[in-house]
Structure 1
Amino acid sequence: MGHSGNVIAELTGDHREVEELFERIKDLPAGDERRREIADEFTIELVRHSVAEEQYLYPAVREHVPGGGKLADKEIADHARVEQLLKDLEGTDVGDARFDVLVARVIGEVSEHVRDEEDRLFPALAEVCSPQYLDELGDRIRTAKKMAPTRPHPSAPDTPPANKLLAPGAGLVDRARDFVTGRGKS
């Protein structure tokens, strides 16, 4: 993932790409080995996206949107549920019946989260922030995604400053593991 424009355009573009991966995995029969490759792809994208949101989007929502703390807390809780599902999926063989159950749960949770962000959070942020600030947030999000982990780390901190300090190191280790194993290169 990597787009351009303000934070809302960037993250909405990410949402569409993940939805496309969801459609691709749903089109394959249960047990098809290609489902693992697609699951790895959407895991990589979702983890990078979530880490960047937690580092920059949600702090901005807390600071600028009335009632933003409650909104940000809800979104971070959504991320935690999805990240645990992704961790469970990562350890499940594609031939195991739980694989399909976990994929369906990830799709359901992420789809609900995307609707919530696009229907409530993004409009609320756009209403109170200048176009210039939204552009700056978009740049920060893009930079954060480049450094972010590519594997789920459910016990990692999800709020600043700890997440900004630890995520790049975890990202480096994850990208090294991905390089060695070929994960995410399809």
Structure 2
Amino acid sequence: MDATELLRHDHRVVEQLFRDYRAAASDAQRRGVVEILVRELSKHAAVEEVLLYPFAAKVLADPRVVDRHLAGHRPIKELLLELDRCRAGDRAEDELMELLASAVARHVRDDENELMPLLCDRADKQSLRELGQEIDQGKQRAPTRPHPHAPEEPPPLAFVAPLAAIYDRLRDRMQGRPRT
């Protein structure tokens, strides 16, 4: 898959996780969905920041487009951090999930209606396929928890992200979090 196809697939997975949350029969099931959602959105945001946005900045030669998309990540990561701190049955969880669903829907709409069409128009197919491979591999090494106060742009992000990923994966194992 090329980068845009891969990221669209991620968006569909996340949309399904929001539906799964709403359909869950118990607090424990909802919490399991939240943990997977936190993991998937954290990895998605990281690969976009490390790989997609620098690529887009080069291809589009308009930093305002990339900056606008990057700015949308911080509120999502802050909501993810609050959700990550919740426990099963926490009253705040439902409200946070609604806020997150709305923020993610905006992000998906902006990516799929603005950024991705621009990239498809201006980047060659081979570059998009190669970027897709990098993104797919990058998700295996990406942080699995939100880090809203970490640098969002390379080069500092390139140094922080791998360390955060190691720490996150250790925490995930210790806490028995699901692996995806």
Asked if TM exceeds 0.5, the reply is: yes
* Structure 1 counterpart SS, 2:27: coil
Structure 2: how far apart are the matches of 1:58 and 1:143?
16
* 1:11-61 Cα deviation digits (max 9, x unpaired): 1111111111110001136x6221111001011000001000001111111
Structure 1: how far apart are the matches of 2:150 and 2:75?
13
Structure 1: how far apart are the matches of 2:94 and 2:154?
34
Structure 2: how far apart are the matches of 1:168 and 1:90?
20
Match of 2:134 in 1: 140
Q: Is 1:115 matched with 2:109? A: yes
Structure 1: how far apart are the matches of 2:116 and 2:60?
10
Q: Which amino acid aligns with 2:163?
A: G
Q: Is 1:60 matched with 2:55? A: yes
TM-score w.r.t. the length of structure 1 is: 0.92
Q: Is 1:162 matched with 2:156? A: yes
Report percent identity of matched pairs: 36
- How many residues align? The count is 180
Unaligned runs of 5+ in 2: none
Structure 1: how far apart are the matches of 2:134 and 2:159?
15
Structure 1: how far apart are the matches of 2:61 and 2:67?
13
Match of 1:174 in 2: 168
TM-score w.r.t. the length of structure 2 is: 0.95
Q: State the 1:66 CA deviation.
A: 4.8
Structure 2: how far apart are the matches of 1:144 and 1:71?
23
Match of 2:73 in 1: 79
Q: State the 1:185 CA deviation.
A: 4.2
Unaligned runs of 5+ in 1: none
Q: Is 1:14 matched with 2:10? A: yes
